[in-house]
Amino acid sequence: MTEKTSSKDSTSVGAQQHKRSPIGTAMRVLTAVTGSEFAEKYGLRDPLNRVAYEATKTGFKSLGAANRAFTQKSGGGAPQRPAVTPKGYFNLNPDDEQAMIAETVRDFATEILRPAAYDADNAAAAPEEILGRSAELGITMINVPEAFDGAASDRGVVTNALVAEAMAYGDMGLAVPLLAPSGVATTLTNFGSDAQQQTYLPDFAGESVPASAVVVAEPWPLFDAFDLRTKATRVPSGYRLEGVKSFVPNAGSAELFLVGAMLDGRPALFIVESDSEGLSIEADPGMGLRAAGMGRLILDKVSVPAHAILGGEEGDPAVAAYTDVVRLSRLGWSALAAGTAKAVLDYVVPYVNEREAFGEPISNRQAVAFMVATIATEVDSIRLVTLRGASRAEQGLSFAREAALARKLTIDKGLQIGLDGIQLLGGHGFTKEHPVERWYRDLRGAGIGEGVVVL
């Protein structure tokens, strides 16, 4: 014990005596003399302080000069570099398959969705031909297991985030109803029982994908996704659902819903088919995301069988499934916001470079340049946090923190990006001649959306 204590003490701060240089020794002596009564008695303190100051300054100059005495070498060989070894760090570069999927979706979004967005926004509905053409992309199929004729062999949360981002780059309002069935397929694949998967998933891998949505939001102030007003009550045949749900895309045409409700004070998801007795739909257009054809789902004593609860059984499995779905949907909305925010950035940059005032482009003005730079910074912040959360979810790691941060950035920065985009366009930003005013309204919707787009 004595040896251990001695060894420990020898490593403590100040225990090791360092070799003192001549300058250090002289300074130690001068310091001791300056602080003594002898120096005070004979009035030597000030002269000695000046000596110490000059000596220190001269000593540092000498040391500096010595340190700068480099010896030139001829060299001629290859420079030494540290090895770059992949260590599995977080990497934003998609693999070849992901890049191909994202590029295909982005081409579809810019060539098909964006030209149709203006009319779809006015009509508050997505055109049927576009809903049909989206099935040809196979977006839903990539989330259906191969056993059900799908293409999913591994969990593809990052791929889904890239798809949502690319789709919203064209138009978020149209992206939401196009991606909603994919969210249902993802939820059934990740959390559905064997019977639920065999019943519903084969239809999501075919050419005629059923219109469907994960329904969580409710039309109440201070809505909390984990404290729902929609209630599920046990009955002999299974469960009875009562409540009102909002933010349901393509509600009038939907065939299947995954509905969030409270069961014994805990949230869970229930499979509800559109022809269930007691279920009705109301149109509910809003400020943004008008092209999604948003509606309300009225549940008036809707009965569902006992096997309709998602997660396989009541209790912890059902709550865990619901919690993950909500968090994945928040990442989904953030991915949509990242795509639309990038569209805003790509639209305003050429505008401020071409628009002239007082004989020069307005981008030469510092206030304008700083605003554009801020938009670019915030776009990356939303995207990086979202993809990090998607990456962790795909690896089976906790992503609760990233989902919360992504949602916070979407609410605060997404809305600000839309507002700044309008500001940079001046009076044009207020008109429907330019799409930025629509993107601003859609970004507002992304900040309050729950459910629907599940990665």
Closest CA to 429 of 323, 344, 334: 344
When mean pLDDT is compared across 23-27, 50-54, 137-141, 186-190, the lowest value belongs to: 23-27
Is residue 101 within 8 A of residue 158, CB to CB? The reply is: no
Q: What is the pLDDT of residue 291?
A: 92
Report residue 107 as tokens. 């081409």
If you search the block for the tokens 């046990």, which residue do you land on?
A: 234
Residue 26 CB partners (closer than 8 Å, separation 6+):
55
What is the 8-class DSSP label of residue 21?
P
Local structure of 247: helix, strand or coil? strand
Q: What is the pLDDT of residue 356?
A: 80
When mean pLDDT is compared across 13-22, 120-129, 265-274, the lowest value belongs to: 13-22
Q: What is the pLDDT of residue 7?
A: 47
Buried residues in 410-441 as b, exposed as e (16+ CB within 10 A): bbebbbbbbbbbbebbeeebeeeebbbbbbbb
421, β-bridge pairs: none
Mean pLDDT in the chain?
Answer: 85
When mean pLDDT is compared across 39-48, 71-80, 146-155, the lowest value belongs to: 39-48
Q: Are strands 256-263 and 212-215 parallel, antiparallel or unpaired?
A: parallel
Q: What is the pLDDT of residue 2?
A: 45
Closest CA to 372 of 350, 357, 405: 350
244, β-bridge pairs: 298
231, β-bridge pairs: 242, 262
CATH architecture of 317-446: Up-down Bundle (1.20)
Q: What is the pLDDT of residue 139?
A: 84
Is residue 342 within 8 A of residue 334, CB to CB? The reply is: no
Please check the confidence at residue 280 and state whether its pLDDT lies above 80. Answer: yes
Up-side HSE of residue 67: CA atoms within 13 Å toward CB? 6
Tell me how far apart the alpha carbons of residues 91 and 270 are, in angstroms, rounded to a whole number: 36
Q: What is the mean pLDDT of residues 347-363?
A: 89
If you search the block for the tokens 């890239």, which residue do you land on?
A: 162
Please check the confidence at residue 41 and state whether its pLDDT lies above 60. Answer: yes
At the fourth CATH level, the homologous superfamily of domain 231-314 is Butyryl-CoA Dehydrogenase, subunit A, domain 2 (2.40.110.10)
Q: For the chain, which residues make up each domain, given as ranges?
A: 96-210, 231-314, 317-446
Q: What is the pLDDT of residue 94?
A: 84
Q: Where are the alpha helices (DSSP H) in 192-276?
A: 194-204
Please check the confidence at residue 4 and state whether its pLDDT lies above 50. Answer: no
Residues 397-420 have pLDDT tens digits of: 999 999 999 999 999 999 999 999
Q: What is the mean pLDDT of residues 204-226?
A: 90
Question: Given pLDDT bands bounded at 50, 70 and 90, which one contains residue 359?
Answer: confident
* 96-210 and 317-446 in the same fold: no
Q: What is the pLDDT of residue 130?
A: 87
Helices 316-354, 436-446: crossing angle, 10 deg rounding = 160
When mean pLDDT is compared across 5-9, 125-129, 169-173, 223-227, the lowest value belongs to: 5-9
Please check the confidence at residue 428 and state whether its pLDDT lies above 70. Answer: yes
DSSP string computed for 142-182: GGSBGGGT--BSS--HHHHHHHHHHHHHH-HHHHHHHHHHH
Classify residue 178 as exposed, middle or buried by CB count within 10 Å of its CB (0-12, 13-18, 19+). Answer: buried
Q: What is the mean pLDDT of residues 344-350?
A: 95
Please check the confidence at residue 80 and state whether its pLDDT lies above 80. Answer: no
Q: What is the pLDDT of residue 3?
A: 47
Classify residue 28 as exposed, middle or buried by CB count within 10 Å of its CB (0-12, 13-18, 19+). Answer: exposed
Please check the confidence at residue 30 and state whether its pLDDT lies above 70. Answer: no
Q: What is the mean pLDDT of residues 380-403?
A: 94
What is the 8-class DSSP label of residue 451?
B
Q: What is the pLDDT of residue 326?
A: 96
Please check the confidence at residue 54 and state whether its pLDDT lies above 80. Answer: no
Domain 96-210 - what CATH class?
mainly alpha
Q: Are strands 360-361 and 356-357 parallel, antiparallel or unpaired?
A: antiparallel
Q: What is the mean pLDDT of residues 217-224?
A: 91
Q: What is the mean pLDDT of residues 179-187?
A: 93
When mean pLDDT is compared across 100-104, 234-238, 355-359, the lowest value belongs to: 355-359
- Measured over the CA atoms of residue 94, residue 95, residue 97 and residue 103, the dihedral's sign is positive
What would you report as the CA-atom Rg of the chain, rounded to the nearest whole angstrom? 32
Please check the confidence at residue 287 and state whether its pLDDT lies above 80. Answer: yes
H helix or E strand, kind and range, residue 238: strand 238-248
Report residue 388 as tokens. 């990090």
Q: Tell me how many degrees the CA angle 324-328-333 measures, rounded to the nearest 5.
A: 150
Residues 97-147 have pLDDT tens digits of: 888 989 999 999 999 999 999 999 999 998 888 887 777 788 888 888 888
Tell me how far apart the alpha carbons of residues 437 and 419 are, in angstroms, rounded to a whole number: 8
What percent of the chain is modeled with pLDDT above 90?
53
Q: What is the pLDDT of residue 341?
A: 96
Q: What is the mean pLDDT of residues 310-314?
A: 74
Report residue 159 as tokens. 């791929």
